[in-house]
Structure 1
């Protein structure tokens, strides 16, 4: 009983808690627990192989990092290997290069120039190229910031021009009334004295 308890404790610490809770029952010995765990990975073998193959060939890199993408493919490949379906390096490399993002297209095409490349060598080469691309992006951002600072900051926007105050309704009515009246001409009301009248008046005063 002590050996069974030790083995069961080792299984509990080794496998995931979800799997352990799925198979464990009260009173199970170590052999029963191990048989149940083995059955989870070997039952429906053909269906599991088909499902894993679809997942393996249909998983692109997307937004994942290169390390995360390669780890995902390697985990599926190991699971298929446990089911008796082994994937060689050629199939791993072809799936890896076809699912890479567009930034690594040039590096993926360079893999064909290698002599007998392995999955590990290809991942190491792609990792170096990914680091190179990150350096190029960082330098481009730094150059853009330096160019912006060299040209100076743009001037602040000009404030809007003040608008003239709107006249009230009383002022508008007064303005219309003033413009509707005809203009007065005071110079017409004043009578002009003829120069001849001035001359005659002066002669009469001189005679007197």
Structure 2
């Protein structure tokens, strides 16, 4: 039985071509709550997911996949979020308020075709490092990369907070040990802080 992607406007189906492009197909979750979130994310009026309904990997972010084994699997709780909706189905995208993200948006060219030389060969989708042929796929990859950058920036900030908290705890423990005269003069001068204090 042929397998097609259930997303509106997506023509991907399971065959040798899609397999060579690395496209995988994933069943709708058996958990009713997560399945409903998938259906809502698709924005298909009147669509009811069945046990044979599938979505292709192009509708998920790269972080949604677990590629540690031989089989590419979706992580638990992953929700499809990469779609090419018609204009009346588009939700307004909230603008980020950080100075870095505003500067990054200002630096992006509006029309990428004007920045490519005319005699340069057009990239194809056969290779993961090549630019996608359609602007919507390019935009989806860009959005995915920007989301990943924002996520990594947040992880970095969280790590810095943890380091500061650990240094504060170490300082207070050493102060307590000094007050109780449990540390001798030789060990008082030794460095005890984590790097990046």
TM over 0.5: no
Q: Larger % of strand: which?
A: 2
Pick 1 or 2: higher relative contact order, CA cutoff 8 A, min separation 6: 2
Bigger Rg, structure 1 or 2: 1
Q: Normalization by structure 1: what TM-score?
A: 0.28
